[in-house]
A and B are shown apart, each in its own frame.
Chain A
Amino acid sequence: MNPAMWISKTGVQAQDAKLQAIANNLANVNTVGYKRDRVIFEDLFYSVEQQPGTQLDNNRNSVSGVQLGNGTRMVGTQKLFTTGNLQTTSQSLDVAIVGNGFLQVEQASGEIAYTRAGQLSVNSDGRLVNAQGLPLRPEITVPANATGITIGENGMVSATIAGSTSATELGQLTLANFINPTGLVALGDNLYQQTTASGNPVTGNPGSDGRGKLKQGALEGSNVQVVEEMVDMIGAQRTYEMNTKVLSAADGMMQNLAQAAR
């Protein structure tokens, strides 16, 4: 059959995948700590029908060959870890990470997951948890009679305990950094998990060794740029359309051929 049909098929499929990523990005425009996905394409292997430079006769080499491409391929998706917009919420338990790094939470399975969404709250046991109720690591317990919790830029959590005049230090929040954050796997719920591609986490106090600082009373919004996504969407849609046109042109050629032979 006409190979152009299969090639156009890869183009149509690729745009389908891209549209899915765009739809997910747009759906998460208002998700705190969301990082946009980008789909990466690569041209598929080439079939070399005739190698350039083959010997034609004693003193001539062919100057050109024939290489026919086989379409496009989705290499993968990349999370883009650029900083999102900071929104001031004035909630004492909202923290935004200004710069690199991830907060660590313990999943139900006991494994550590990483997140940039800093909507913290205190659970019934007095522990600091994230929006899904997963406890933060290192663990920080807020006494029931504590008021005025402050989280410093360096991650120090302190509060005023009733009856005391000075602030009491409750614990230290740490941030984890990865050599290749793009290699983290997204678990959903704003959580990421380390993989061999991301490397091991390097934890430390916020603000040290290039880690970001914490800002209390602020949240990091999603880094999705709505206009960019819309432009990408138009591009994907039109590319889809044009690949379909080639598909029908290839089909038309086959039809002509079938009619020519009686």
Chain B
Amino acid sequence: MDALIYAAMSGADRALQAQQVHANNLANLQTPGFRADLELATSRKVPGYGYDARYMNQLQANAVNTRAGTQVETGRELDVAVQGEGYFAVAYGDGEAYTRQGAFVLSENGTLTLNGRAVLGDGGPIVLPPGSQMSIGADGTISVLAEGQTVMQPTDRLKLVNPAAGELSKNSAGLLVLRNGGSLGADPAVQVRGGHLEGSNVSAVEEMVSTMNLSRDFEFQMKLFKSADEMAANGNRLLRE
């Protein structure tokens, strides 16, 4: 069989997988703090008998778009959005992972959590005393008006980190982790805003255009399938006659 059909197959395969990336981005158009996945393809040489037989296509999809999403005011005291660059740190397994989602919830024992994972502060998970009022300052300081107190007391501070976009990749839970493992120190320059939530940073227009593009792309590969098929059929007929 001609090598053409295998090259076309790698193109079709890439289109299918890339479609998955864009479908996932669009499905998360309303997920707070979601970072869009980027998909890129590289060509990979396939060596033949003393010459380069063909170039295959290889998908790479583990980079994230770090553009900021739109911020919405919610008025809830435990909703926080990061201003500009930066991430919140949450406990993940033995280590930590990073996220932009800031809809924190207090558990019954006072631990600050995000979707069930402990939110990290200066010294590990943040535990807040029972109190009536809470506020989160621009530098991530959490102040609580504890029971029996009359003034707000600074209790802990959110761990805010600022890794470069290229260092980040998503883990299987959809949280951001460092590409080479390990953890980051807190960056005092990161600013947050309480009472706000950041939306998803997926651009619907970009995703729709990519989807259209990919589905046409796939169609072309199918045309090549047909051509390869016809060429082989013609070759077979030549032998018969």
* Chain A interface residues toward B at CB < 8 A: 2-5, 7-8, 10-11, 14-15, 18, 38, 40-48, 52-53, 64-72, 75, 78, 80-82, 99-100, 177, 179-180, 182-183, 196-200, 202, 209-211, 235-236, 238-239, 242-243, 245-246, 249-250, 252-253, 256-257, 259-262
Determine the distance from Cα of A236 to Cα of B20 in the docked complex, in whole angstroms. Answer: 21
Main secondary structure of the interface of B (DSSP, over half): mixed
Binds A, one of B86-94, B106-114, B183-191: B106-114
A211 to B148 CA separation, bound complex (whole angstroms): 11
Render B6-48 as a binary contact track against A, CB cut-off 8 A, 1 for contact: 0000001001110111111111111110100100000000000
In the complex, number of A-B residue pairs with CB atoms less than 8 Å apart: 202
Residues of chain B lying within 8 A (CB to CB) of residue A245 = 208, 211
- Chain B residues lying within 8 Å of A198, measured Cβ to Cβ, are 108
Could you say which residues of chain B place their CB within 8 Å of the CB of A2?
A: 16, 19
**Max chain A CB contacts within 10 Å: which of B12, B62, B215?**
B62
Q: With A42-B174, A259-B222 as given contacts, are A65 and B20 in contact (CB-CB < 8 Å)?
A: no
Sorting the interface of chain B by its residue count into under 10, 10 to 19, 20 to 34 or 35 or more gives 35 or more
How far is the CB of A139 from the nearest CB of chain B, in Å?
Answer: 26
**Which one of B49-57, B118-126, B127-135, B154-162 contacts A?**
B127-135
Q: Say whether, besides A82-B75, A242-B207, A256 and B27 are in contact (CB < 8 Å).
A: no
CA distance A122 to B136 in the complex (A): 43
Partner of B28 from the list A69, A81, A82, A197 (CB cut-off 8 Å) is A69
Interfacial residues, chain B to chain A (CB-CB below 8 A): 12, 15-17, 19-32, 34, 37, 59-63, 74-76, 101, 103, 105-110, 115, 130-133, 145, 147-148, 169-174, 179-180, 204, 207-208, 211-212, 214-215, 218-219, 222-223, 225-226, 229
Residues in B with CB closer than 8 Å to A47 are: 172
User: Which of A65, A70, A250 interacts with B62 by CB under 8 Å?
Assistant: A65
- Contact of A3 (CB < 8 Å), options: B20, B29, B108, B145: B20
Give the docked Cα–Cα distance between A177 and B173 (Å): 34
A130 to B222, CA, bound (A): 69
Please indicate the chain A residues that have their CB under 8 angstroms from the CB of B63 in the complex.
64
> In the complex the two chains form, is A75's CB within 8 Å of B115's CB?
yes
**B26 contacts across to A, CB distance below 8 A:** 8, 11, 239, 242-243, 246
Residue numbers in B under 8 Å from A209 (CB-CB): 132, 147-148
CB-CB under 8 A for A66 and B16, given A8-B23, A45-B174, A246-B26: no
Cβ of A210: which chain B residues have Cβ within 8 Å of it?
131-133, 145, 147
Give chain A nearest CB distance to B27 CB in angstroms: 3
A246 proximity list for chain B (CB < 8 A): 19, 22-23, 26, 207, 211
A196 / chain B contacts, CB cutoff of 8 Å:
108
Considering residues B28, B37, B103, B223, which has the most beta carbons from chain A within 10 angstroms of its beta carbon?
B28
Q: A40-B103, A44-B174, A65-B62 are in contact. List 18 more A-B contacts (CB 8 A).
A: A2-B16, A3-B20, A7-B23, A11-B23, A40-B115, A45-B174, A46-B174, A52-B179, A66-B60, A67-B62, A67-B172, A69-B25, A70-B24, A180-B105, A211-B132, A243-B29, A249-B211, A261-B225
